Structure formats: structure tokens, C-alpha cells
Structure 1
Amino acid sequence: MSAIPVKSKIDRDQLLKISPFKEVIKPTVPHKHADYFELILLEQGGGYHVIDDQRYEVLPPTVYFMKPGQTHCWDFSRIPKGYVILFREELLTRECLDVAYNLPVNITLNDVETLPGLTRQFCDDYRAGASPAILKAYLQLIVLKTGEEARTQSAEGRFTPLYYQFRSLVNEHFHQVRKIQAYANMLHIPAAQLNLICKSASGKTPSMLLNERIVLEAKTLLSNTDLSIKEITDVLDFSDPSNFVKFFKLYTSFTPKQYREMAIARLH
């Protein structure tokens, strides 16, 4: 079981929710959202937003986009104003999903009118009880417009549906499932085909992407919890601490203890 709390701000049978961002200065604890996307548009505010162990200064107007399973927390110094859109992937077309999985987590808005204005109207119509078809169209347009803003900031190539399905499966099962063949079986394709799909989309093999997700989770636990190395070893389902330490050092050049000390030092 993960030590990072999982919070849900949307009902399990709910596909979409949009609301104004809470206008309060109150630090939040690191947490995850398991099975939905979160798009946050801030028009005002200041401070920091930590996402997956990366610290981003809040410099409005800006968009933060988080995929299912990412860890984040806020530390505001000025009152934030903006909107939060929570949604499930069922509402997106294939083209919009392609854009969503290609978005960076932080997008600075060059056009300070179009996306904020569209999001504001989206919220107004949502509150007024607009039809699902209209709300779905709003959401897809906002995702596409966000993608336009982010196009120059995104380093990865175009994704295919099978690629983002693989990334989604990894995000859900990486604690227990470490065999690429198992993921290929879930996708009903040969492992060799999965390898080609991943290398074409990202330049990385499926194993590299899986290991990156494990390392990211390890970094998050080291930075945001007081769990011991032994406890993190158990959470990540390594056979023993020595194997976990070797794995972590291979991909980061640091031991878990060294990384935790650096993470603590960054906060002071």
C-alpha cells in the first residue's frame, strides 16, 4: 500500500467536475488522485506547487496538468484565483487523449485571454446545468487549446493509443507487475510490438519507462514521507533493502539516504 494518501474530489460515477479554485492560503500535504485528470488554471496567486518531487513556482497565468497517479501539494504565498477541472478519459476523443498524455505538468500561458475566458464560460455553463454534450465539447476544446499553448514546451513525440494505454497500466500496476510480457498480455499484443510502440513514441523501451515510474515513486516517498528505507522497500515490493538501494543508485547515482538528505536540504 502506498504511503502517499490518495484523495478523490470527484464521485466514482462522475465523469466531470469544474469549480473555482479555493481562494485560501493553506499548505496542503502531498497526495494523489488515482483515476482522473486534473487541469488547474491559475490567473492569480503566488508560491510553489510541488508535482512528483519537482518544485514549480506559481507564476500566473499558468496551467498545471496532472495525470492519474501523480503526487502534488501546494504552498501558496498569495491568494490563488482560477479554476479546477477534474475529468475522466472517457470524455476525450482519441485526438484529445493524444494531446492530454503529451502535456507537460506546467504550461505558462502566452495568450492571457482565450483559455482563461473559455474556462470561465465553461464553469458558468457547468453551474447553469448545460447539457453533457456541451460540457464535453468545452472540455475537449480546452484540452486542445492547452495543447496549443504547450506545443513548444513538450519534448516527447506523438503518442499512439496503445502507448498511453501502456503508460496507464504501468501507473496502475507498477508496484506489483514488473514483467513487460505481462503488460503486453494486458494489451493483447506481442512484447516486441510493445517495444516498438514505446521506442517510436518516446525513444525509450517499455522497461525503461517502467523503471522510471518506480524511481519516481521512490523519490516521492523519500521526499514526502518519514518511511524508513525498509518500509519503502516493502511499499515498492522489492525483495530486500539492498536490492532497492542498488536499483535506486543505478538510476539516480545516489543512494536513497543521500537523495532524502538532498531533498530535505532543498526545503531549507
Structure 2
Amino acid sequence: MEKEVKEIGKKNKIEKELIIKVSKMKPVIKPTKPHRHEGYHELIFLNQGSGYHVVDDIKHEVRPPVGFYLNFGQVHCWDFSKIPEGFVVMFKEEALAKYPAALDNLFRLHNKFNLPRQDSILMDQLNLFYRDFKANEPLELLSAHLNTIILKTLYLPALKDQVHPSFVSEFSRLKKLLNDNYIKLRTVEEYANLMNLSSRKLNQICQAAAGCNTIEIIKEKLLIESKNLLTHTNLPVNEVAYQLNFSDASNFIKFFKSQTTLTPLEYRARLLS
């Protein structure tokens, strides 16, 4: 009997014809399977609930009021121990066509951020956003709501320090290119060429925006995707190496161990311990 191949699931919770969708958290505590969302960003705001939220390889304790930001393709799952309450905002990038700065601001959000405990203004704005979405208000109004929510979230105390606007824009562009090309492109020079920048300038941008050089950003993305496949699938190591475009399994193992001090099999074994 052939062994069933376990793969990372994909979910599309935003209908094809929609650009923005606002919903309330489902009042259930059933654990979800690890999955990724394709083609849209997601902002989650919780004012009730408890449990855990696993994003890529990081396990976050859910202690409301708290928020989460998910970029394209991030793998996540929930395991609530108390009924959650809050809002989920899903949106495609075209929703912010009139607000280009909002797209640049997204990368500056933490994957997890604290919400103001005493101030209900943000939740009131989210409730209004939800009501306008349910009332089928025009996209122009919904996009304005979304821009306001992003700006409100950006200036919460837990966020990153200010970065020069030009670096914000270029770093955001790099992250988008990396999401689309990490399988095939692995060098600083390749991304610098795509951006019409020198490698030195691109490294300068990454240092200012993220505190590390470009090759570390590239390796971090590759490591995250490696961990996703090792954690959420049962693919053999050589197949993981193939899917990530390594020349062979030994090169993948060498890369993974250089980043984690563990071999892929050792990493998997620790997940089960």
C-alpha cells in the first residue's frame, strides 16, 4: 500500500470576485490544520479568547487584546482553548491601489502585536468596517477603512522603529519579489538586478529596515519554507530539497544545518518529542 503524501493545505477564504472581506472570528475552539492563504493579506484582531496561534515555525500564545498579520503564503493554524472574539480583515493588494504607502507599511507590522487594552476606538472602527462591508458599501469606502486600520495598527507601541520612507518602499518591494522568486533566485545580485539597484545599495536598505544584510533575508525566507515543508508535510528530505530547488539532498541538509545546527531529520524528530 502506498504511503499517503501529506501536504500543506491551501485555503481561500476571500471569494474570487471580492477584493476586501471583513468577517467576525468563528465562535469555535476546534483546532485548525496548518494551511496557507494564497493571494491575499490577512489582519486579525482579537479581544477575547485564549490558546495558541502557530505562524510558520513560531508558536504564539493568544492573550487578547492581541493582533496578528499574515503575509502571502505564510503557514498558520489555530488551537483555541477559549472561544475567540474579534475581526478578520482579508484583502488583495489592489484594494490599496489609491494608498501605496499602506502597502509599504505592511512589512513594518509585527506578525503579532498588542492592542490597546483601555482604548476601544480601534475595535469600534473595525465594527464600522464590518457593518459597511456587510451593507455592500462601495470599494472606495472599504479601501479607506482598510487604510485607516493599517495606519492605526502601524502606530501601536509594539511596532518597529521608524525607517526612512524610501527604504520602506524598496524593502517592501524586495519582500514581494522574494515571495515570488525564492525558489529560483538565491543571490543578492539577482534581486538587486530585478530592482535596478546595486548590491551595496540593497544591503544598505536591508540593514536599515531589518538590521541584517540581503543574503540573510534570502536565507531566512528559504529556511521558513524549509521548516514549513518539514513540519507540515511527510515528504522525504530529498523531495523537500527538490521542491526548494536544491541541486541535491546533501546541499539542502548542509544549508539547513548551517542555519539551525540540526539536520532536517533531527528537526523533525524534535517536533515529535
TM-score by length of 1: 0.90
Indicate the residue corresponding to 1:234 in structure 2.
242
Could you say if the C-alpha distance between residues 18 and 6 of structure 1 is closer, same or farther in structure 2, counting changes exceeding 3 Å?
A: same
Are the aligned partners of 2:50 and 2:80 in contact in 1 as well (CA < 8 Å)?
A: yes
Q: Secondary structure at the match of 1:48?
A: strand
Letter in 2 for 1:227: L
Which letter maps to 1:124?
A: R
- Counterpart pick for 2:76 among 67, 72, 75: 72
Q: Alpha-carbon deviation of 1:62?
A: 1.3
Question: Quick one: distance in 1 between partners of 2:195 and 2:11?
Answer: 28
Which one-letter code corresponds to 1:234 in the other structure?
Y
**Cα displacement (A) at 1:223:** 1.9
- For residues 23 and 38 of structure 1, what CA distance do their matches in structure 2 show? 18
Q: Say whether residues 1:103 and 2:109 are aligned partners.
A: yes
Q: Does 1:22 align with 2:26?
A: yes
Residue 148 (structure 1) aligned to one of 149, 155, 170: 155
Q: Which residue of 1 aligns with 2:3?
A: none
- Show structure 1 runs of 5+ residues with no match: none
Number of residue pairs matched by the alignment: 263
Residues 68-97 of structure 1: per-residue CA shift (max 9 Å, x gap): 121100111122121110012233323322
Deviation at 1:193, TM superposition (A): 2.8
The alignment status of 1:216 with 2:221, answered yes or no, reads no
Q: Is residue 45–residue 76 contact of structure 1 (8 Å, CA) maintained in 2?
A: yes
State how far apart, in whole Å, the 2-side matches of 1:142 and 1:74 are. Answer: 23
2:93 is equivalent to residue 85 of structure 1 = no
Q: Which amino acid aligns with 2:256?
A: F
The TM-score, its normalising length taken from structure 2, stands at 0.89
Shift in Å, 1:155: 6.4
Matched, 1:251 2:267: no
Q: Is the 8 A contact 1:94 1:161 kept in 2?
A: no
Shift of the 153–200 alpha-carbon distance from structure 1 to 2, 3 Å rule, reads closer
| 1:215-235 deviation digits (Å, cap 9, x = unpaired) | 111112222222221121111
Q: Specify whether residues 250 and 156 from structure 1 end up closer, same or farther in structure 2 by C-alpha distance, changes over 3 A only.
A: farther
2:57 corresponds to 1:49: no
Deviation at 1:153, TM superposition (A): 4.2
Measure, in 2, the Cα distance between the counterparts of 1:53 and 1:13: 32
Which blocks of at least 5 consecutive residues in structure 2 are unaligned?
1-5
2:123 maps to which of 112, 116, 121: 116
Cα RMSD, aligned residues only? 2.0
Call closer, same or farther: CA 1:22–1:152 in 2, change over 3 Å.
closer
